[in-house]
C-alpha cells in the first residue's frame, strides 16, 4: 500500500472516519443546544427565526473557513443545512409544546392522501386525537373509516382534504348535519366550493377555507404560506389561524374570490410551464441520454422542477387548471409572451427580445424586494 507522509491510505481513511463521526456528534450536540434555545424563546415570547442572527452566524463561519483554508461557500452550505435542521427541530418542538389539541378530537376526511397524511401528523403533534376517513383505506370502526359519514362528527375539528369536487359534496352534506366543531377545507381552488362554503356558514357552521401553500413533503414551514379565507364566520378564521400560530409559516388572509385569481399565476402558470417544458422535451428529436450528458446549470434546475411536477397527481393538476375561472387570463398572457418570443427570434428582432427579458427582470426584482424587504439574503 502506498505511503503518504508516513501514513498509509488505510490510516488516512480511518482518520477521516473519526473526523466524520466527530462532525455528526457535534451536530447532534448543536441540536440539543438548539432545543434549549427554542424553549427559552418560547417562554420569552420571542420569534423562532432571527434573520440578523443567522446572517451573523454565516458571516462568522465564512470568515473562519477562509482562515482555516476551507472554501467559505462550502462552510456556508454546511451551516445553512444545520440552521434549517435547527429551525425544523425548534418549530416541531414548539408546536408539540403548545399542546393546542390536548384533550380535543379531530377528523381528517381524505386523511390517507398525501396532504391528508401531512395534516394528520401535524394535528397529532399538537395533541389532537385524530380520526381518519378515506375511501382508499379499510376502516377499523375506531380511528379509521372508509366512509366519513360513519365517523364521529362530534369532534372539535373537521378538515376536508379530499379532491376538489368531492370536497364540495362533503361540505354540502356536512351543512345538513351541522357539526359543532371548526370545519375547513384545504382545496387548491376555491371557486367550485364557494357556494357550499357560504351556505354552510349561513347555516351556522363554524367554517372557513384554508390553503397550505406547500407540498406534503414539507417539514419546515419557514418561508411557506398558509392562506385563510373568511366564508362568513370570522371566529372560524381565528381558530384555524391559531392551529398554525406556533409554526413559522406566514399566515395570510385572502377573500375567496381573490384566492383563485392569485392561484392562476402562483399555481396555474408554474404548473403549465413545467408541463409544457416536459412535453416539449418528450416531443423533441433529442434523446434523454444525450441531454443528460451535457446538461447546463439552468437546464438542470428547470428539469428538477419539471420532474417534481411530473411526479404529482395529473388529475389534481388538471383540476387546478380546469376549475379556476381565471385560468384563461393566465394562459392568454402566457401565449402572448411565447408568441412575442417566437416572433422576435424568427424575425431577428433583438429589441423585442431584450424588452421581453427586461420586463421579466423588472418584475422579478420587484417581487424579490417585496418578498425579502430588500434583504440580499432570504
> Which domains does the chain show, CATH number per domain?
3-97 (1.20.59.10), 99-254 (3.40.50.720), 259-347 (1.10.3660)
The rounded distance, in Å, linking the Cα atoms of 374 and 359 is: 19
Number of Cβ within a 10 Å radius of residue 59: 12
> Can you give the pLDDT at residue 40?
82
Q: Is 136 exposed, middle or buried (0-12, 13-18, 19+ CB in 10 A)?
A: exposed
> Can you give the pLDDT at residue 82?
87
Beta-carbon contacts of 112 under 8 Å, excluding residues fewer than 6 positions away, are: 132, 134, 136, 137
In eight-state DSSP terms, residue 109 is E
CA 190 from centroid of its chain's CA atoms: 18
Beta strand 7-8 with 3-4 is antiparallel
What are 98's three cell numbers?
403548545
Beta-carbon contacts of 134 under 8 Å, excluding residues fewer than 6 positions away, are: 109, 110, 111, 112, 113, 116, 144, 145, 146
Nearest-CA neighbor of 160 among 111, 123, 195? Answer: 111
Task: Output the pTM of the full model.
Answer: 0.82
C-alpha torsion 317→251→215→236, nearest 10: -70
What are 4's three cell numbers?
503518504
> Can you give the pLDDT at residue 378?
46
Spans in the chain with pLDDT lower than 50: 1, 378
The vertex-250 CA angle with 217 and 127, nearest 5°, equals 60
Do 95 and 124 meet the contact criterion of CB atoms below 8 Å apart?
no
Do 79 and 58 meet the contact criterion of CB atoms below 8 Å apart?
yes
> Can you give the pLDDT at residue 140?
81
Helix 327-346 × helix 270-283 angle, to 10°: 50
What are 13's three cell numbers?
481513511
The rounded distance, in Å, linking the Cα atoms of 255 and 198 is: 12
Q: What is the DSSP string of 189-218?
A: --GGGHHHHHHHHHTT-EEEEEEE-S-TT-
What are 79's three cell numbers?
451551516
Amino acid at each position: 500500500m502506498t505511503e503518504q507522509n508516513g501514513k498509509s491510505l488505510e490510516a488516512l481513511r480511518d482518520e477521516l472516519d473519526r473526523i466524520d463521526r466527530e462532525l455528526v456528534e457535534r451536530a447532534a450536540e448543536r441540536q440539543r443546544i438548539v432545543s434549549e434555545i427554542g424553549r427559552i424563546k418560547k417562554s420569552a415570547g420571542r420569534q423562532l427565526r432571527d434573520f440578523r442572527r443567522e446572517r451573523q452566524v454565516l458571516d462568522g463561519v465564512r470568515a473562519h473557513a477562509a482562515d482555516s483554508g476551507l472554501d467559505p461557500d462550502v462552510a456556508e452550505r454546511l451551516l445553512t443545512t444545520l440552521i434549517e435542521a435547527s429551525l425544523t427541530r425548534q418549530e416541531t418542538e414548539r408546536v408539540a409544546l403548545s399542546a393546542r389539541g390536548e384533550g380535543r378530537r379531530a377528523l381528517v376526511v381524505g386523511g390517507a392522501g398525501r396532504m391528508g397524511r401531512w395534516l394528520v401528523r401535524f394535528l397529532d403533534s399538537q395533541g389532537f386525537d385524530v380520526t381518519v376517513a378515506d375511501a382508499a383505506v379499510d376502516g377499523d370502526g375506531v380511528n379509521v373509516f372508509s366512509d366519513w359519514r360513519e365517523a364521529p362528527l362530534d369532534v372539535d375539528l373537521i378538515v376536508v382534504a379530499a379532491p376538489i369536487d368531492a370536497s364540495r359534496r362533503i361540505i354540502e352534506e356536512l351543512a345538513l348535519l351541522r357539526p359543532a366543531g371548526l370545519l375547513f377545507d384545504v382545496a387548491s381552488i376555491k371557486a367550485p366550493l364557494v357556494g357550499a362554503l357560504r351556505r354552510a356558514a349561513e347555516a351556522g357552521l363554524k367554517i372557513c377555507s384554508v390553503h397550505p401553500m406547500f407540498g406534503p413533503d414539507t417539514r419546515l414551514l419557514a418561508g411557506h404560506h398558509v392562506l385563510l379565507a373568511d366564508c362568513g364566520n370570522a371566529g372560524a378564521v381565528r381558530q384555524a389561524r391559531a392551529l398554525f400560530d406556533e409554526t413559522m409559516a406566514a399566515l395570510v388572509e385572502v377573500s375567496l374570490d381573490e384566492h383563485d385569481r392569485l392561484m392562476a399565476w402562483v399555481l396555474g402558470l408554474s404548473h403549465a410551464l413545467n408541463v409544457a417544458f416536459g412535453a416539449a422535451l418528450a416531443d423533441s428529436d433529442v434523446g434523454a441520454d444525450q441531454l443528460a450528458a451535457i446538461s447546463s446549470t439552468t437546464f438542470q434546475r428547470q428539469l428538477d422542477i419539471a420532474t417534481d411536477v411530473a411526479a404529482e397527481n395529473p388529475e389534481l393538476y388538471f383540476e387546478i387548471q380546469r376549475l379556476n375561472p381565471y385560468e384563461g387570463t393566465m394562459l392568454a398572457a402566457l401565449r402572448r409572451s411565447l408568441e412575442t418570443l417566437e416572433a422576435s427570434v424568427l424575425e431577428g428582432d433583438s429589441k423585442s427580445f431584450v424588452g421581453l427579458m427586461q420586463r421579466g427582470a423588472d418584475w422579478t426584482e420587484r417581487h424579490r424586494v417585496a418578498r425579502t424587504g430588500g434583504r440580499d439574503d432570504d
